[in-house]
Chain A
């Protein structure tokens, strides 16, 4: 089946199998490897992509379902070699260690701040319920999100 969708600033047009997940398609066929394969069952959040601006699990979407969609991955955030402020904030506050969960964390931050520019710690905890991190203990991630919010507000 042929699909066509917007990925970051470009268009992807490909032939896909009906049973191919969006996650496998992005990693193996489009080579967007920031989208990680962790649990592959919707629990860990490392395969998060923004689907029409909202965070969803790419392991729980079929590639065919991306047809006509607008999908954002971390590759779409940095512009002209400049990191996005969310990425800057994660660097500044050490919001990661091994980095495996980080693309999902950054996209979840973007979706949260697009909707709620001034989140409380509780708002952040709620928004990140579906993103597991095994390194940081989450404290630095929360600080990174707060810092990103501050930087975005200017």
Chain B
């Protein structure tokens, strides 16, 4: 986002107090309406003229969209739940730890106090900080419209930079995460230590039994048009011994799964090299028991 900040453009504003009212507004106004959640991304994009809106539908008055609730073997997180609250939630830190880890290295505390999980997913940045963790947790999202709803796995939600499968009359209302017992780890590489966009980010989930990898999932951000799962690396690890050598060899395969670009933050070549390094590190961390996040920066 290198465009210049200008005064906020004019728009109409509505703040429905129920989800049904919000869905009706989207149904009636379709592409003319833009949903506002935390505003930490959309309002900046509006000021920079990278987004436009004739009508803002502000969801912040809809308290029914803010919750963290375990139901059976799944955790349901309302789309309007603030990132700061998710990071501090005991059930998230214990049973969906990758998400809390990802949030802990994301943006800055004031942004996390306002930004929401639904907003971060819906912006669909290739570098979206929560995306790799949601991918390795095998999360899904619920998309609601006036006359129905559908559940979409996060792995099928993103279709390109800032693009996803949600239609103009749909609202992402919930993130659903299976509660799991394995270890998770997150590593984020940025240009500086704090408050920075990812150059490359990686998340991993792993279960190990008798020294062998069982279920294993790896995802990367900022190295392809969308955040991606790295299925070839996962395949090369499943059932194999948990050793440095196995990890190193499997991590090599990540080069074939990514499509990095050159931008102001890094070159494609650098991102490719760092994808390998971060893959190796995140796998080593997760194999050793992990369950924390590492922020590293370019020296």
Contact = CB atoms under 8 A, between A and B. Distances in A.
B270 interface: no
A57 B111 contact: yes
A65 B42 CA distance: 15
Contacts of B12: 18
Contacts of B48: 41
A59 B39 CA distance: 10
B110 A57 contact: yes
B236 interface: no
Interface of A: 1, 17-21, 39-43, 45, 48, 51, 54-57, 59-62, 64-65, 108, 125-127, 129-131
Q: Contact residue range for chain B?
A: 20 to 34
A41 B108 contact: no
A55 B10 contact: no
Contacts of A1: 13
B43 A56 contact: no
B152 interface: no
B12 to A, nearest CB: 6
B18 interface: no
B163 to A, nearest CB: 22
A130 B5 contact: no
A20 B47 CA distance: 11
A54 B111 CA distance: 11
Given A19-B8, A40-B47, A130-B109, A57 B195 contact: no
Contacts of B58: 62, 64-65
Interface in B1-44: 5, 8-13, 15, 38-40, 43-44
A57 B40 contact: yes
Contact of B39 (A40, A45, A62, A127): A62
A56 B13 contact: no
Contact of A60 (B10, B43, B109, B194): B43
Please name the 6 residue pairs, one residue from A and one from B, whose CB atoms are nearest each other, closest first.
Answer: A130-B108, A18-B13, A129-B194, A129-B108, A19-B8, A55-B110
B8 A56 contact: no
B107 interface: yes
A55 B113 contact: yes
Nearest to A54: B113
Interface centre among B13, B40, B110 (most CB of A within 10 A): B110
Contact of A130 (B8, B39, B43, B107): B107
Nearest to B104: A126
Given A54-B110, A56-B113, A56-B114, 17 more contacts: A1-B13, A18-B11, A18-B12, A18-B13, A18-B56, A39-B5, A40-B5, A41-B47, A42-B40, A42-B44, A51-B114, A54-B113, A56-B110, A57-B40, A59-B43, A60-B43, A125-B194
